[in-house]
A and B are shown apart, each in its own frame.
Chain A
C-alpha cells in the first residue's frame, strides 16, 4: 500500500504524450523491470510506459517483479544477456543494486531509474526520473494560501502511513507552502494510512472533535484516496465538501476528478504515471546524440482544479488501470 506513495509526481500526461513525437528510438530494444502491480498508480505507470514505447516504435521487454528484488535482478541479467539497447528499472528497494548495475555498465547498457532512487554510486546509472514529493506538498499548500487569502483558516491533515517517505515529505512540503501565513493553522493531523476507509474514519473523528466541523476550513490529504473517504465523512456530517470545507490532495487519480466534477473537491497535485516519457527522451538524446542527461530528472507537479475540465480528465484517466 505504501509502496506506490514512494513514487514521484509530475508533468501533465497529455502534454507529454503530445510533445514527445519524434520516433528516433524506433527499432531499439529496451527492457523494463517493473516492481509489480501493487497499486492503481503502478498499473497506470505500466500501461503508460507501454503506450509511450509503442508510440516511439520501441520494442519494450516487460518484466513484472512481483515486489521482489531478486526477480528484478534476474530480469536485468536477462536483459543484459539479450543485449538490449537500454534498461528501465523501477527499483523495489534502495539497496543491493551495485553488482547487477556494474554488470550492465560493463556490457555498456545504459540504465534509467524510474520514480525511486537507489543507494548506489551515481555512475552506475544514466539518470533517474522521479518527482519531488516535498514540492507536491508545497504546491498544495501554496494553492490553499492563494485560495483563502487573508481569511483565518483551520486546516486538518490526513497523513499517509506513519514513517513512509511520501508522508514525511508531503507533510514537510505543505508546511513550507503555508509558512509565513499566520491566518492558516494546521489544527489536527492524523494518519489515514493512504486508504479510503481510514481517511473516512479519521475525518469523522476530526469532525466530531472540531464542533461538528464548523471550525474546519480545509482538509489536506496526502493522497486522493483518503480525500475521497474524507469527502464522504463531510457529507455524512451534513456539510458540503468543496464549499463548507475545502478539499485539497495529491496524486490526481480518476476518482478525485469525478469528485471535482461534482463540486466536492477543490484541488489535486498530479503524481504523473508518465515516468517513461522523460526517460525515453533522455535515452533518445544519449543513444542518438551522445548527450549525457542530468543525473536527476524531476517531473512536473501540476496542480489541477475544477477549472481544468475534471470530467474530461476523469474520462482520460479511468482507462489507464488506476
Chain B
C-alpha cells in the first residue's frame, strides 16, 4: 500500500517538478520564518548560537529554545490531530495542571514516582476521553465541549493541590522536567520521540488518511465505512495524553505543581503553533512535524525577547507583529504570488 501524501505537495505544482524535495521543503514559509527569527535573535545577541558543554549537558540559548518550546510542541502534536478532525481542544492547559497536580500530590503522599507518573498520564487520558465523549456521543461542538474542562479543569487541579504549590524533591519527576539524555534536555528528547512516533503512526499507516477523511467530511467518512466516533475518541484521548506529558514536564521543571499557573493559556500557543505549521482549522490537511516547527518559532521569539533587553511592555507587541507577518506570508494570496515568481524563475 502506498502511503498517503496528501499535504506534501501543492496540488497545482507542475508534475515532474520534484527534483529537489528537500530544498523545496526548506523554502516553506515556516522554515524561512524560523530562520528569520533566529537570525534576528543572533543580531540582537551575538552569543545566541553559542553552545557549550556544562555539567554533562549542552548549554546555550538555542538549547533553551528547544527546551522551553518542548511543552507547547507536545501539546501541538496532540492538537494537530484534533484540529485535523475539524475539532479543537481548549482544555489542554487545564489538563496539564491536573496531571501535574496529581503526580506531585502522589509523590508527596509517599506513592512511588513511577506510579504517580502513570496515574498522571491516565488522568490525562481520561480527560481526553471525557472531551471525546462530549464531542462524539453528546454531539457538542468541540470548542464548547472542551471549554467545559478548560474552565473546570483548573478548579479540579486546585482541589487536588488544595490551592497551594505542592513542592517535591522526587528524582524521577525532576528528571522529566530538568534532566538530560545524551546531553539533550529530557523534555526535548520526549518531544522529539513523540513527534517521530506520532508522525510514523499517522503516515506509515492509514490512520492519517482516516483522520483527514473525518476532518474533511465526517458524514461522508462514516458512509465510506470509517468508524468516525471511535477515531474522534482516540484523537481527543491522544491530545489529553500529550497534555499530561507536557504537564509532567512543567511540573518537574519547577519542582512543584502550580495549579493556578501551570499551562495557563498554553492551549492558545498550541493552537497557534498548529496554525503556523499550516494545518487548516477547517480540518483535513495536517502535518505534525510542521506544528512542532510552529512551536519552535513561537519559542524562538519568546527567548529572543528575553535576551534582547527590550522592556517587557513590548513583549506582546513584538510577538503579535511577527505572527501577523508569518500568517500573511502563509496566506493563499502570498502563496500564489510566490508560486508565480518561482515558476517564472524556474522556467527562465
Interface residues of A (CB under 8 A from B): 1, 37-40, 43, 159, 162, 188-191, 193, 195-197, 200-202, 204-206, 208-209, 211, 225, 228-229, 232, 236-238, 255, 258, 321-322
Contacts and interface: CB of A to CB of B under 8 A. Distances in A.
A206 B68 CA distance: 14
A38 B250 CA distance: 20
Given A255-B165, A321-B162, A322-B164, A196 B256 contact: yes
B165 A208 contact: no
Contacts of A237: 54, 59
B309 A188 contact: yes
B308 to A, nearest CB: 8
B165 A40 contact: yes
Given A201-B68, A321-B162, A209 B309 contact: yes
A208 B253 CA distance: 18
Interface string B256-297: 101011101000000000000000000000000000000000
B312 interface: yes
B45 to A, nearest CB: 6
Contact of A321 (B164, B256, B312): B164
Interface of B: 45, 47, 54-55, 59-61, 64, 68, 158, 162-165, 167, 178, 250, 253-256, 258, 260-262, 264, 302-303, 306-307, 309, 311-313, 315
B258 A321 contact: no
B306 A1 contact: no
Given A189-B312, A206-B306, A321-B162, A200 B254 contact: yes
Given A197-B258, A232-B254, 4 more contacts: A205-B61, A208-B45, A208-B64, A209-B47
Contacts of A228: 254
A196 B258 contact: yes
A236 B178 contact: yes
12 contacts: A1-B261, A188-B309, A190-B306, A190-B312, A196-B254, A196-B261, A197-B254, A197-B261, A197-B262, A200-B254, A201-B64, A204-B64
B306 A202 contact: yes
Given A196-B254, A206-B306, A321 B315 contact: no
Given A159-B312, A197-B253, A197-B254, A40 B163 contact: yes
Contacts of B59: 237
Contacts of A38: 260
A43 B164 contact: yes
Contacts of B312: 159, 162, 189-191
A238 B58 CA distance: 12
Contact of A195 (B45, B258, B302, B303): B258
A196 B61 CA distance: 19
Nearest to A210: B307
Nearest to A197: B254
A200 B174 CA distance: 14
B45 A209 contact: yes
B302 to A, nearest CB: 8
A61 to B, nearest CB: 21
B47 A208 contact: yes
Nearest to A42: B163
Contact of B165 (A196, A209, A232): A196
Contact of B306 (A159, A205, A229, A322): A205
A315 B193 CA distance: 42
Nearest to B158: A37
Residue of B253, B255, B306, B307 with most partner-chain A CB within 10 A: B306
B40 to A, nearest CB: 15
Contacts of A43: 163-164
A162 B313 contact: yes
A202 B59 CA distance: 15
Contact of B255 (A159, A206, A225, A232): A232
